[in-house]
Amino acid sequence: MKLVCVVSSLALALSCGAALAAGDAEAGKAKAAACAGCHGADGNSTAPQFPKLAGQNERYLLNQLKAFKSGKRQDPIMSGQVAALSDQDMADLAAYFSAQQTTPAASDPEAVIRGEEIYRGGITSSDVPSCMGCHGPDGAGNPAAGFPRLAGQHAQYIEAQLLLYRDGKRKSDPAAMMRNIAERLTVDDIKAVSGFIPGLHINEDAIK
């Protein structure tokens, strides 16, 4: 009897997972009007403290919206934004923003040499792995794994996030992946790599 219960509740959990609706980009477009003031109508924010969402991978976007909602990732602005969103709304918004094209950005010339060294080679002396191992040589991230795209993102936003991970204040990273890396970065390392990343460029035509 006991075994039957375990098996049936497992089957229930699996069927619930499969029933989760896929995102609809068209529906997401209408819902994205609420986000435009900060993130831009197509997800290309112009203010450097607001992250670009355009072209970010769908799985990552959905994970972050859920993390804001559950409180794993805390931000006074975004917590309010997600409070009234349903699972379907979040899936639709993630589908819409991921289908937009990121506007290109430039690296800070002062940061580019040290920043690229860290991005591509890590820092051996302090056990920092290369960023490109997970975020890709061109900053495209890894959509299947949910590792975020970084190419074209604002330096100011990247720097702020690395400091939040470093201080243990952003906890949305599975297995503390980014917290473990950021705690080994100095403030100067963070400045350098954040200044380099925006200029990473993805050849979108090659992907399609």
Within 8 A by CB and 6+ apart from 60, the residues are 141, 143, 146, 147, 148, 149
The CB-of-165 to ligand HEC minimum distance in angstroms stands at 7
- Say how far apart CA 6 and CA 134 lie, in whole Å: 37
Angle value at C-alpha 66, between 60 and 72, nearest 5 degrees: 100
Residues lying near ligand HEC in the complex (CB under 6 A): 34-35, 37-39, 49-51, 53, 56, 61, 63-65, 75, 77-78, 81, 93, 118, 128-129, 131, 133-135, 147-148, 150, 158, 160-162, 172-173, 177-178, 181, 193
Give whichever of 9 and 87 is closer to ligand HEC, judged by the CB atom: 87
CB 74 within 8 A of CB 161: no
CB 128 within 8 A of CB 181: yes
Give whichever of 49 and 106 is closer to ligand HEC, judged by the CB atom: 49
Tokens 């503390």: give the residue.
176
CB 57 within 8 A of CB 135: no
The CB-of-179 to ligand HEC minimum distance in angstroms stands at 9
The CB-of-121 to ligand HEC minimum distance in angstroms stands at 10
Give whichever of 112 and 134 is closer to ligand HEC, judged by the CB atom: 134
The CB-of-17 to ligand HEC minimum distance in angstroms stands at 20
The CB-of-33 to ligand HEC minimum distance in angstroms stands at 8
Give whichever of 14 and 176 is closer to ligand HEC, judged by the CB atom: 176
